[in-house]
Amino acid sequence: MNSDLDNQLDRLFSLAQERQLNLDLHTDENGEPNSRVLKKVAQTAIRQKFSGKIICGHCCSLAVQTPEQVTETLKLVKETGVSIISLPTCNLYLQNLQNNHTPKWRGVTLLHVHVGDSRN
């Protein structure tokens, strides 16, 4: 998140659209509830009528946002068809990593886990 994020995303999306490229972004790889880049990405895709595919990796901050914020963001993600890739092993290692410090928070995005296939 930064004060120029909207302009930066507009430029990125314009260039990708112009060059017929898809987007693969690392978003919200932190434990900050105010980190809402995933939402901004979806809003930009709507605003620019982006036709390419969008993948957002990590999205850890979803796990520390309010249920209302999560619902709002995921509604936009669904509307735009943004794919989310979770990297739990990577994030379990990297999040809150510091020398001589035991991590207290290891960010993993909100995931539904399906064990087995209920149809069998």
Q: Which pLDDT score, from 0 to 100, does residue 11 have?
A: 98
pLDDT tens-digit profile of 94-113? 777 778 877 666 677 776 65
**Annotated catalytic, 29?**
yes
Contact 25, 56 (CB under 8 A): yes
Tell whether 42 is covered by a domain. yes
Tell whether 117 is covered by a domain. no
Tell whether 36 is covered by a domain. yes
Tell whether 20 is covered by a domain. yes
Q: Which of 29, 68, 72, 79 is catalytic?
A: 29
Tell whether 120 is covered by a domain. no
DSSP 7-42: HHHHHHHHHHHHTT--EEEEE--SS-TT--HHHHHH
**Location of structure tokens 């987007």:** 23
The CATH number of the domain holding residue 70 is 3.40.50
* Total domains, the chain: 1
Q: Which pLDDT score, from 0 to 100, does residue 97 have?
A: 72
pLDDT exceeds 60 at position 114: no
Q: Which domain holds residue 62?
A: 5-94
Rounded distance, CA 7 to CA 48, Å?
12
Tell whether 18 is covered by a domain. yes
Tell whether 100 is covered by a domain. no
Tell whether 40 is covered by a domain. yes
Backbone conformation region of residue 39, classed left if phi is above 0, alpha if psi is from -120 to 50, else beta? alpha
pLDDT tens-digit profile of 14-49? 999 999 999 999 999 888 999 999 999 999 999 999
pTM, 2 dp: 0.82
